[in-house]
Amino acid sequence: MTAYDFQTVNLFIPCAMDMFASRIPYTVIALLEKLGFQVIYNPDSTCCGRKFFMSGDMDSAKQLGEKLLKEYDTEYPLIIPSSACAGYIRTHFLKLFEYSTLPASLKGFMQNTYELCDFIVNVAKINHLNNYFQQRVYYFESCAARNMYPLHRAPEQLLIQTRGLELLPHYEDLPCCAANGRFAIQNPEVAQNMLVNIVDKIYNLGAQYITSTDIHCLQYIDSEIHARGGGIEVIHIADILANQE
């Protein structure tokens, strides 16, 4: 049993994860079910519209937002394995729909949307998952996890409690990886320098794995690692949290 009032949760999968890391959603479902939740996943769900909103295409963002609102029962919390997508819904949906006729439950829907680690630690009040991952791991804190949806060390709390895992020291001065939005496209040289700086520092720590709450950050960092010939693996935090011996 969990400390949360509901035993049923909705699950929304970010489009980047659905397209490029389609195994991870099954891992998230297995993890939530292990914690005692019944998981509702709507296979018709596609995208929250965040990328369109950030690029200024409000019509497309609004269409996808309306679609999302219709696809899930707002009676239950919405869990998202992405601080960027969860943060976007919590932060920007009111502005996106300020001139629309929407259900009275919109504000509740926004407040009842959670990033996976935040939900486990701060809502369900679970700090120990009895998971196992015997590797040296660097946790990369995305910009969304710092600013749009501050996670207040929830991911680190779960990683520290992971049996066998060595959580490497956290760089407080790491820049944004530049994967979010159109920055890397419009400023390729600056973005590349930012990415190289991040990867250099993590290599220097002797990391075997880099993890994060955001798949798009991991994909972007992985591109630089592959350009160097590898040496470090990237892994979404859900895969670590669900891993057993």
Q: How does pLDDT run along the chain (245 residues), one tens digit per residue?
A: 445 567 999 999 999 999 999 999 999 999 999 999 999 999 999 999 999 998 899 999 999 999 998 898 888 999 999 999 999 999 999 888 887 766 667 888 899 999 999 999 999 999 899 999 999 999 999 999 999 999 989 999 999 999 999 999 988 888 888 886 677 778 888 889 999 999 999 999 999 999 999 999 999 999 999 999 999 999 999 999 999 97
Phi, psi of 63 (to 5 degrees): -60, -45
Q: What is the CATH number of domain 136-241?
A: 3.40.50
Task: Provide the pLDDT for residue 1.
Answer: 40
Where do the structural domains in the chain lie, given as residue ranges? 8-123, 136-241
Task: Provide the pLDDT for residue 245.
Answer: 79
Task: Provide the pLDDT for residue 103.
Answer: 62
The residue assigned the tokens 């207040």 is: 152
